[in-house]
Chain A
Amino acid sequence: MLSKDLVAASAVPLVLSVLTEGENYGYALIQRVRELSGGKIEWTEGMLYPVLHWMEKEGFIESEWREGETGRKRKYYRMRQEGRKALQEEKQQWMSVHETLTKLWKQQPRST
C-alpha cells in the first residue's frame, strides 16, 4: 500500500494519465487506478473530487453532466490541451525521480 503523502502527490498525474485513454467519471477513474495498481493505490474515494475540481479550475480538464448507459446521471471529465502539457511536465518529474532512485539502488543492491 502506498503512503498517504505519495497517494496525494500522485493523484494529478494518475488522473491525467487515465483521462488520456478517453473521457471518464469519478467512480470509474478510481476503479481503473485500483485495477492497474493491483490494489496498491487506495484513494479515500471522496477525496478525488476536490482534486478533479481543482484540475478543472486550472483548465487541465473539462466536465459535463450526462446520462450514462444505466440511465444514471454522471459528471464526465475530459482532457484539455493544458492538461496534456501538465502531464508532460509531471512525466518528466516522476521519471527523473524514478531514474535517480533506480541508479542509486543499482549501485547498492543489498543495502536496504
Chain B
Amino acid sequence: METTTSFDLNRSIQNWRENLGQSPAFQRENLDELETHLRDSMTALQTHGLSTEEAFVVATARIGKNRLLGAEFGKINGQAVWFDRMLWMLIGIQVWGLVSGLMNSISSNAVSLGLIGGHFDFAAHGRTFPMILFGLVRLLAIAGSLGICWWLIVRKGQSFGPRIEKSLHRRAMLAAVCGSLCVIFLSSSLLIFGSQMLLLKFTDMRTFGEAMAYSNFFGWAVQGLTLIVLTLFLARKRLRLSKA
C-alpha cells in the first residue's frame, strides 16, 4: 500500500479527485484512470528520491490544471456537461419561481393591506402614491429574491451538490426530499391564497380589485424591466470576459 506520513496521501488524492469531480466533464471512470496515472507517476518520482508530498505536487502539476483538463474532457463527455447545465437551469427556474413568487405576494399583500387598512381612497387621492409604493416594494422584493437565490444556489449549491447526489442514490431519501419540496410548494401557495382571501373579507370588492390591479401591473413592469437590465448587464460582462 501507499505510505502514509504526516502528509496524508489518501486524503490529498481524495481532495484532488473531488476538486476535479466538481466539473461534470469528468465521469467516475475518468477520475479512476487519472488517479491510477497519478499514483504511477508518484511511484516513479519517489524512486528518484522525492518525498511523498513532493511527488504528489509534481505529479498533479504534470497531469495539468483542472480548468484545462475539464475543457478537454468536456469535449468527450459533452452530453453529461449539457445534462448538468439543464439540471442547474431547472433548479434555478424552480428556486427563482418559489422565492420571488413568495416575496412578491407577501410584499404586495402587505402594501395592499396597508392601503386598505388606512382607508386609502384610490378615486380621491390620485394614483401617484400607490404607484410609487407598489413599484418600490417590488424592487425590494426582487433585490431580496436575487439575494436569497444567490445564497441558495451559488453559496450553498457547492456544498449541497454532493449531499443531494448522495441522497439521490437512496430511494427513501429521494421520496422524502420530493415530499418535503411538494409540502413547501403547497404551503407557500396556500399562504398566498389565504392572505388574499383575508384581504377580500375585510374590504369591498372595488378597493380590493383596484389594489390588486396596481400591484399586478407594477409587479410585472418593475420585475420585467429589472430582469432585462440585469440580463443585459451580465451578458455584457460575459462578453468582455470571453474576449479577454
The interface of chain A, by Cβ under 8 A from chain B, is: 25-28, 44-47, 49-50, 53-54, 57, 70, 72-75
Question: Which chain A residue has the least Cβ–Cβ distance from B34?
Answer: A46
CB distance from A9 to the nearest CB of B (A): 15
Across chains A and B, the number of contacting residue pairs, with CB separation under 8 Å, is: 53
Contact status of A45 and B36, CB under 8 A, knowing A50-B72, A54-B76: no
Q: What residues of chain A lie closer than 8 Å to B34, measured between beta carbons?
A: 46, 49
Q: Is the interface of A mostly helix, strand, loop or mixed?
A: helix
Q: What distance in Å separates the Cβ of B76 from its nearest Cβ neighbour in chain A?
A: 5
Interface assignment of B124: CB less than 8 Å from any CB of chain A: no
Stretch of B62-70, B210-218, B236-244 with 4 or more beta carbons under 8 angstroms from chain A? B62-70
Q: Cα distance A50–B69 when bound, in Å?
A: 9
Q: What are 6 A-B contacts with C-beta separation under 8 Å?
A: A27-B37, A49-B30, A49-B73, A50-B76, A54-B75, A75-B33
Is B40 interfacial (CB-CB < 8 Å)? yes
What's the tally of chain B residues with a CB closer than 8 Å to chain A? 19
Q: A45's contact among B30, B41, B43, B76, by CB below 8 Å, is which? A: B41
Asked if A47 contacts B62 (CB within 8 A), the reply is: no
Complex Cα–Cα for A45 and B65 (A): 10
B17 within 8 A of A: no
Which residues of the other chain, B, contact A70 by a CB distance below 8 angstroms? 43
Contact residues in B for A25 (Cβ distance below 8 Å): 36
Say which residue of B30, B36, B63, B69 sits within 8 Å of A72 (CB atoms). Answer: B36
Q: Judge whether A73 and B36 touch: CB under 8 Å.
A: yes
**Residues of B with C-beta under 8 A to A49:** 30, 33-34, 37, 73
Contacts A45-B62, A72-B36, A73-B36; is A50 near B68 (CB within 8 Å)?
A: no
C-alpha spacing A45/B33, complex, angstroms: 12
Contact indicator B68/A47 (Cβ below 8 Å): yes
CA of A28 to CA of B30, assembled, Å: 17
A54 to B30, CA, bound (A): 13
- Give B63's nearest chain A residue, CB to CB: A46
- Contact between chains at B69 and A47 (CB < 8 Å): yes
Given contacts A26-B33, A44-B68, A75-B33, contact A53 B39 (CB under 8 A): no
CA distance A70 to B72 in the complex (A): 30
User: For residue B39, which residues in chain A have a CB less than 8 angstroms away from its CB?
Assistant: 72
A72→B2 CA distance, assembly (Å): 11
- CB-CB < 8 A to A26: which residues of B? 33, 36-37
Q: Report the Cα distance A49→B40, complex, angstroms.
A: 15
Once bound together, how far apart are the Cα atoms of A45 and B62, in whole Å? 6
Which residue of B has the minimal Cβ distance to A51? Answer: B72
Whole-angstrom distance from the CB of A2 to the nearest CB of chain B? 16
Distance of A17 from chain B, by nearest CB (Å): 20
A97 to B170, CA, bound (A): 57
Provide the bound-state CA to CA distance between A98 and B73, in Å: 31
